[in-house]
């Protein structure tokens, strides 16, 4: 299943969404300009390294900063390659505009950053001894998807589904599409607990944490919006 777009128009220009997208794009282009050694140094400095929080002595011995809380925010603006960047930004552009519409520009910005922060925190809690840096916006975007599912459960996600190499376009309710996505993250996250923590890969628990905290944080940030038509809910 590959989402193409949703069916809900936004009422106001999603300024913050485009600013976040622009910052991610500029930083990714900057990453592409770096040598391999410089890129590795950048990721070590600004990515989330769980073991640097649980074993500060190890962090110091390896030239890393212990308890680098700032990395919970900086990591969400770094990406590990073209596929990582495009897949994250694609999902972000599909779901973020309507959530920003409901929350307002400033509240959406704070919501996005806090979702990413809690996503990183959950990743550390479930991988406390991992020495591998984690980067990417997917934890924050998972929070946006959680909020979207609550706010617009019956909206339609136009989805590309290839069957025997033949592409089909179908409209899937948001609660079903995002719900199935979350279940896939959860089961993969449970399986990842069986693997050694120095095993790299997708930060499933960051996705799970961002999604759950996005739903939990939503009532705090949600504002009542007159004139928001029921058919969009």
Length of the chain: 233
Question: Which domains are assigned to the chain?
Answer: 10-155+174-223 (1.20.1540.10)
Q: What is the pLDDT along the chain (233 residues), one digit of tens a residue?
A: 899 999 998 899 999 999 999 999 999 999 999 999 999 999 999 999 999 999 999 999 999 999 999 999 999 999 999 999 999 999 999 999 999 999 999 999 999 999 999 999 999 999 999 999 999 999 999 999 999 999 999 999 999 998 888 888 999 999 999 999 999 999 999 998 887 766 667 899 999 999 999 999 999 998 654 444 444 44
Please report the DSSP string for 84-135 in residue order.
HHHHHHHHHHHHHHHHHHHH-HHHHHHHHHHHHHHHHHHHHHHSTT--S-B-
């Amino acid at each position: 299943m590959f989402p193409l777009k949703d069916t809900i128009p936004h009422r106001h220009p999603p300024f913050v969404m485009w600013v976040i997208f622009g910052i991610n794009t500029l930083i990714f282009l900057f990453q592409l300009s770096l040598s391999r050694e410089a890129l590795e140094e950048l990721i070590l400095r600004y990515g989330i390294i769980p073991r640097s929080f649980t074993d500060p002595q190890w962090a110091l011995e390896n030239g890393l900063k212990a308890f680098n809380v700032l990395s919970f925010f900086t990591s969400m603006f770094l990406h590990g390659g073209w596929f990582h960047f495009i897949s994250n930004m694609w999902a972000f552009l599909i779901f973020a505009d309507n959530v920003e519409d409901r929350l307002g520009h400033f509240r959406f910005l704070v919501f996005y950053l806090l979702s990413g922060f809690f996503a990183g925190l959950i990743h550390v809690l479930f991988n406390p001894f991992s020495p591998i840096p984690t980067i990417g916006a997917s934890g924050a975007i998972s929070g946006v998807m959680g909020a979207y599912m609550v706010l617009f459960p019956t909206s339609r996600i136009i989805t590309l589904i290839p069957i025997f190499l033949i592409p089909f376009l179908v409209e899937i309710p948001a609660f079903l599409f995002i719900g199935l996505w979350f279940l896939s993250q959860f089961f993969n996250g449970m399986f990842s607990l069986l693997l050694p923590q120095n095993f790299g890969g997708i930060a499933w628990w960051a996705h799970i944490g961002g999604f759950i905290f996005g739903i939990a944080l939503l009532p705090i940030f949600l504002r009542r919006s007159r004139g928001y038509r029921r058919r969009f809910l």
